[in-house]
Amino acid sequence: MAATHLVSHSPSLPKSLKYPSNPTPKLSFFKPIFPLKPISRNLCVRAAVSTSEPQTQKFQHCFMKSGDGFLYCEGVKVQDVMETVEKRPFYLYSKPQITRNVEAYKAALEGLNSIIGYAIKANNNLKILEHLRGLGCGAVLVSGNELKLALRAGFDPTKCIFNGNGKLLEDLVIAAQEGVFVNIDSEFDLDNIVAAARISGKKVNVLLRINPDVDPQVHPYVATGNKSSKFGIRNEKLQWFLDAVKAHPQELKLVGAHCHLGSTITKVDIFRDAAVLMVNYIDEIRSQGFEIDYLNIGGGLGIDYYHSGAVLPSPRDLIDTVRELVLSRNLNLIIEPGRSLIANTCCLVNRVTGVKTNGTKNFIVIDGSMAELIRPSLYDAYQHIELVSPPPAEAVISRFDVVGPVCESADFLGKDRELPAPSRGTGLVVHDAGAYCMSMASTYNLKMRPPEYWVEEDGSISKIRHGETFEDHLRFFEGL
């Protein structure tokens, strides 16, 4: 299969907003990066990536506080959006920020034959997928429905990679028919891929997902490349898999090797450690006559969830860490970014229901919850929280837990946050909610999944997903 060449771009990324060093929000105001656009009262809503010291250029952030104390997204006042859309929690994205994030990866990959495979599990909104496809991305899939969605969104199947440790035969048949790359994750996975090739009558381009046993130094729930992980083949069994592929020349074509270390990684030398191991495996595989063209180093680059001003690795830092290794073996590089493409493009926008205390703790209760955004409850993840409007002059700054109405003590969006006591109905946002938030949302307590909107390049607001309703829930029982 021919290598995929990305169009090279070298955008001049403006410096990003510098946040206060304290990770808890204060009453600090900032000048906007963009001149603020005049906002009509009748806002129109349309349906619609370390070395320990990386030389990096930080991403421009699309959400910022202006000198007037209001939060803006690409020059659009979030308060105005709240007054225009339906009165419930909603996700608000910046479409231009998505574009900027992709362009940063494209610029970093200049000079390499590469595929940017967006990890659909991070966010599966169809409109976002169509935009990413239009920017030249491929897709990384971990289920049959993600595969079907990628095809519906128009992704080039030859720029799609089907991952997973439990891929089903019927889904593998679709992948084989469409010409999608498939990672071999286990002995039974190989058997299923062979069966899918026979059913479809197509030879499948496969990569071996090798567990490199590299510690990504992240939360154990998002670590995927250490020895205890459920993903990938044990490196000591490599020869067994090579022999198995050789035994099926009509069904399988081994074209590459794959590894994935984990998520929220903030030290790119970890990627280099893994890439060194992987190119050595590729040397060994090539020595046995296989034509290996692809190295897939996965994704997992972290972002500054704390808004602390930390200098984190950029896409260029990541790619430069493995560039010479890739060129030295004349390989095509596949990367699988998810969080670093989409997380910082979005906020979950909520309204304050009220403020209470139990005598030892203060609580800001909002209409959003763990049902809409589960990361803090699931693995104690931190996401920056702030109000969308200036507080009353008499508001006292206190330490609050920001919680929702769900009947669980685990229902919190943030703990021990220093915030001015807000009035009822005040807007409150949870930042960096583009990845692993809406895609993990549920209907627990019958809180229906929220609508999604984005700010377009011209500053207009478009609806990109309808919110679910109680009537949607009842439809599952019609005719039973």
Which residues belong to the active site? 407
The per-residue DSSP string of 403-417 comes to: E-SSSSTT-EEEEEE
DSSP, collapsed to helix, strand or coil, labels residue 246 as helix
**What is the spatial distance between Cα 245 and Cα 241, in angstroms, rounded to a whole number?**
6
201 CB contacts (<8 Å, ≥6 apart)? none
- Angle among Cα 89, 91, 97 to the nearest 5 degrees reads 155
Q: What span, in angstroms and rounded, lies between the C-alpha atoms of 82 and 380?
A: 28
Buried b (16+ CB within 10 A) or exposed e, 438-459: bebbeeeeebbbbbbbbbbeeb
Place of tokens 């998810």: 338
User: Helix 126-134 to helix 95-108 angle, to the nearest 10 degrees?
Assistant: 40
Beta-carbon contacts of residue 273 (< 8 Å; ≥ 6 apart): 212, 214
Task: Give Cα 209 distance to the centre of its chain.
Answer: 21
